[in-house]
């Protein structure tokens, strides 16, 4: 199968090449087209998942990554996207999310594979929509399809829920902030590890190293965005349970890398715009938390998508002599 623009060449397998493209798919979750970055991300996932006694999350990540990359090949998607790792980044996130929120029964694994494959195909369609507005669908294929599956699991009783909130009308506020410096560092690092739904400070360090290996600015913006988001969440007295688990950090981290280093080049104008975007992401995170309470559903990386779209859509020209093009990205290798 092929879409109308597919060139005649199709994806060719080789042990080394395919491993590299899979690892790039992991790296592209944070916009880095580097196999080393992707490898460190996967190491971080395994560390965090095993540490918290949920290794199925790490195995799910690998499975989702492979399934979605494989899906690009069978449908005959653009080969250059496969080489850039763009077939895999939604799938690895699906693979982290399913075993986190659903019980590890066989039908869950089957659904995980199907959903991961769908993200690659639906990404083409979502990009056809967003390209009309000169933006990219980002991780929204993962978000939308995972939302559908998680919602459906409440009526499809063959897949029991694992760690999903009870539907409610009131946002639960709980837990307590530990204001020591050490705890702040932990919250800050967990804000980075939660990009892959991992609640672990060491994983946060590994992710930062992974970013720095490919693009030092990406590491700087990730670190800065998590810190800024933490400060805003503390200033506005956000739900302590979420703050201490890093749940106010992961979307701002992605917004920061996307706006500050991927779609705009680094300069002081784009840095200011990125800071505004990161702060807005905190409010969008809290708003979307409230929005999803009646279904007990997680926001996933939805706040990142919404915030980044909002700050890309005006197409402001923040880099001199560069016409802004937000339809796709080429990250530095």
Interactions with a copy of itself, residue window 189-228 (CB under 8 A) = none
**Member of 19, 168, 185, 216 binding a copy of itself (CB under 8 A):** 168
- The CB density around residue 173, as the number of other CB atoms within 10 Å, is 11
Number of residues near a copy of itself (by CB under 8 A): 73
Assess 118 for contact with a copy of itself (CB under 8 A).
yes
Write the binding mask 63 to 82 for a copy of itself: x where contact by CB under 8 A, - elsewhere: ------------x-------
Interactions with a copy of itself, residue window 303-322 (CB under 8 A) = 309-318
- Residue 304 Cβ, how far from a copy of itself at the closest point, in Å? 14
Cβ nearer to a copy of itself, comparing 51 with 295: 295
**Member of 83, 177, 324, 328 binding a copy of itself (CB under 8 A):** 324
| Torsion angle defined by CA atoms of residues 7, 10, 15 and 17, in that order, rounded to the nearest 10 degrees | 10
| Residue 134 contacts residue 112 (beta carbons within 8 Å) | no
Q: Which of 137, 55, 133, 136 is nearest to 95 (CA)?
A: 55
Assess 113 for contact with a copy of itself (CB under 8 A).
no
| Cα–Cα distance for residue pair 325/304, rounded to 1 Å | 19
Residue count of the chain: 333
Interactions with a copy of itself, residue window 4-23 (CB under 8 A) = 4, 6
**Member of 283, 328, 329, 332 binding a copy of itself (CB under 8 A):** 283
Interactions with a copy of itself, residue window 28-57 (CB under 8 A) = none
- Residue 105 Cβ, how far from a copy of itself at the closest point, in Å? 11
What's the chain's Rg over C-alpha atoms? 19
Interactions with a copy of itself, residue window 125-164 (CB under 8 A) = 125-126, 128-129, 132-134, 147-159
Strand partners, 161: 102
| Residue 155 contacts residue 208 (beta carbons within 8 Å) | no
The H or E element that residue 290 is part of is helix 268-292
- Residue 242 Cβ, how far from a copy of itself at the closest point, in Å? 8
Q: Which whole-number Å values give the CA distances from 263 to 28, 33, 255, in the listed order?
A: 14, 14, 10
Assess 284 for contact with a copy of itself (CB under 8 A).
yes
- Residue 124 Cβ, how far from a copy of itself at the closest point, in Å? 4
Cβ nearer to a copy of itself, comparing 227 with 318: 318
User: Residue 184 is encoded by which pair of tokens?
Assistant: 């702040």
The owner of tokens 């918290």 is 52
**Member of 43, 79, 103, 114 binding a copy of itself (CB under 8 A):** 114
The half-sphere exposure of 311 on its side-chain side, counting CA atoms within 13 A, is 30
**Member of 10, 52, 183, 290 binding a copy of itself (CB under 8 A):** 290
Interactions with a copy of itself, residue window 226-255 (CB under 8 A) = 233, 235-239, 242
| Cα–Cα distance for residue pair 304/308, rounded to 1 Å | 6
The distance of Cα 309 from the centroid of its chain, to the nearest Å, equals 14
Contact segment (CB under 8 A) with a copy of itself among 10-18, 177-185, 250-258, 289-297 equals 289-297
Q: Which of 93, 91, 99 is nearest to 122 (CA)?
A: 91
Cβ nearer to a copy of itself, comparing 7 with 167: 167
Cβ nearer to a copy of itself, comparing 65 with 318: 318
| Cα–Cα distance for residue pair 144/272, rounded to 1 Å | 30
């Amino acid at each position: 199968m092929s879409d109308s623009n597919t060139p005649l060449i199709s994806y060719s397998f080789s042990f080394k090449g395919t491993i590299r493209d899979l690892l790039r798919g992991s790296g592209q979750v944070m916009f880095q087209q580097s196999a080393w970055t992707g490898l460190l991300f996967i190491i971080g996932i395994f560390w965090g998942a095993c540490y918290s006694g949920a290794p199925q999350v790490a195995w799910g990540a690998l499975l989702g990554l492979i399934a979605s990359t494989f899906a690009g090949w069978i449908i005959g998607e653009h080969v250059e996207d496969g080489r850039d790792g763009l077939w895999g980044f939604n799938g690895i996130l699906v693979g982290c999310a399913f075993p986190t929120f659903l019980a590890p029964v066989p039908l869950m694994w089957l659904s995980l594979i199907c959903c991961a494959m769908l993200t690659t195909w639906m990404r083409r369609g979502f990009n056809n929509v967003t390209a009309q507005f000169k933006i990219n669908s980002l991780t929204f294929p993962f978000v939308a399809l995972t939302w559908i599956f998680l919602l459906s699991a409440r009526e499809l009783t063959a897949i029991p829920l694992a760690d999903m909130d009870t539907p409610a009308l009131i946002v639960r506020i709980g837990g307590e902030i530990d204001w020591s410096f050490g705890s702040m560092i932990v919250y800050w690092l967990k804000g980075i590890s939660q990009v892959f739904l991992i609640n672990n400070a060491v994983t946060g360090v590994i992710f930062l190293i992974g970013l720095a290996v490919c693009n030092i600015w990406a590491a700087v913006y990730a670190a800065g965005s998590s810190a800024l988001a933490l400060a805003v969440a503390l200033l506005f007295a956000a739900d302590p349970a979420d703050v201490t688990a890093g749940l106010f950090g992961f979307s701002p981290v992605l917004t920061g890398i996307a706006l500050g280093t991927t779609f705009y080049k680094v300069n002081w104008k784009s840095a200011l715009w990125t800071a505004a975007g990161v702060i807005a992401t905190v409010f969008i995170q809290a708003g979307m938390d409230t929005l999803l309470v009646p279904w007990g559903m997680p926001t996933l990386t939805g706040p990142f998508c919404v915030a980044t779209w909002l700050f890309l859509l005006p197409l402001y020209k923040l880099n001199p002599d560069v016409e802004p093009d937000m339809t796709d990205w080429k990250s530095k290798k």
